[in-house]
Amino acid sequence: MSIFVDKSTRVVYQGLTGSQGSFHGLRNRAYGTQVVAGTNPKKAGTDVEGVPIFATVADAVRETGANASCIFIPAPGVASAVMEAAQGGVEFIVVITEGVPAHDEARFFNVLKRDYPHVQLLGPNCPGVITPGECNIGITPGEIALAGGSVGIVSRSGTLTYQALHELTQLGIGQSTCVGIGGDPVPGTSFIDCLSRFQADPATEAVIMIGEIGGSAEEEAAEYIKTKMTKPVVTYIAGQTAPPGKKMGHAGAIISGGKGTAEAKISALRDAGCDVARNPTEIGGLMAERLRKG
């Protein structure tokens, strides 16, 4: 078992004909993902190294049975690409693109919620999701993940997601599913969306959650962990030494008004019974210890 994606996931890539789309789409295929289609209205009928290109997601769904989409479209086109995917009939949409306007995100998130409540959106501005050995959608380097394990990962930061995978794999600890939710103002999938699925997933025994300073998503997740989760959660919060008031790149990563500080988040997570790593390297060790204790 796993969450969101597995062997049966069939993925259409919107933007497969572009340089990033083809590099990562083909890399996902090499990993073992069922990369069944790409879209580009001007190149319908052609193929990218054997992957057929369709004019629309609807065509791709009809012809290939795709049930998930991965979007590598430049930011100005993301809003319409997301709607095309939902209208086309896929149930899982992953947006890798960064730099999407906040108002676009707010609108398409809420339109999906209203008109396509069965559709799960991941991102924008995220690395994607990997169920090791089964399916990798997005830009996570698959070789750093280890199949057959029982640790779920959810992270707001792309590169730290890789770091966490890497730390676990180095210790021989495999992962059930690893989800990068991204740090944008309106993420399609939240920490809690993932935590609840990991809690329900029989293949997941423990969870790593990686947060950042700013906002209050980690505090909300801590409340959820405290009240709803029985599986152990190891956490790390990036930005513990960031000077207050400095915006550190991610739209979400800012400390302000005394809220969203690393201290506040760490304290809430400790209070919820989580182990809190001081740096990414400690994540693996703390998880190994948790798993040993059972």
Partner 1 sequence: MLRLIGCTVDAGNSSAGYVGAGPHHDACSRQTTGFGSVRGVATSVRPAQGWLTAGAKATTPGAAVDLFEYQGKQLFARYGIPVSAGNVAVTVDEAVAAADAAGYPVVVKAQVQVGGRGKAGGIKLANDAAEVRLHAGNILGMDIKGHLVKRVWVENASDISEEYYASFTLDRGAKKYLGMLSAQGGVEIEQVGEEKPEAIARIHIDPAEGLSDAQVRGWVAAAKLNPIATEGAVDILKKLFTAYTEGDTDLAEINPLILTPDNRVHALDAKVTLDENAEFRHPEWAEYAATQEMDERERAAKEKGLNYIGLDGTVGIIGNGAGLVMSTLDIVTQVGGTAANFLDVGGGAGATLLANAIEVINNDPNVRAIFINIFGGITKCDEVANGIVEAMGRVELRSPMVVRLDGTNAVEGRAILAGHVSDTLIPAATMLEAAQRVVAIAGGM
| 250 part of the active site | yes
User: Given the rule CB under 8 A, which of 34-42, 46-54, 146-154, 215-223 is the region that contacts partner 1?
Assistant: 215-223
Tell me the closest approach of the beta carbon of residue 194 to partner 1, in angstroms. 16
- Which of residues 60 and 233 has its CB atom nearest to partner 1 in the complex? 233
Neighbours of 150 (CB within 10 A): 18
**Closer residue to partner 1, CB minimum distance, 117 or 294:** 117
Is residue 91 within 8 Å of residue 120, measured between CB atoms?
Answer: yes
Kindly indicate which of the ranges 63-71, 85-93, 153-161, 199-207 contains the residues binding partner 1, using the contact rule CB under 8 A: 153-161
**26-90-41 Cα angle (round to 5):** 60
| x/- map, 266-285, partner 1, by CB under 8 A | ------------xxxx----
Name the segment binding partner 1 (CB under 8 A); options: 43-51, 57-65, 106-114, 221-229: 106-114
State which residue, 52 or 260, has the beta carbon closest to partner 1.
260
| Side-chain-side CA neighbours of residue 103 (13 Å) | 1
Q: Which residues of 254-285 are buried (b: 16+ CB within 10 A; e: fewer)?
A: bbeeeebbbebbbebbeebebbbbeebeebbe
Work out how close the CB of 180 gets to partner 1 at its nearest, in angstroms, rounded to a whole number.
9
Site for partner 1 in 157-196 (CB under 8 A): 157-160, 162-163, 166, 183, 185-186
The answer for residues whose C-beta is within 8 angstroms of residue 221's C-beta and 6 or more apart is 190, 191, 192, 195, 209, 211, 269
Contact 238, 160 (CB under 8 A): yes
Taking CB under 8 A as the rule, does residue 80 contact partner 1? no
Active site positions, annotated: 250
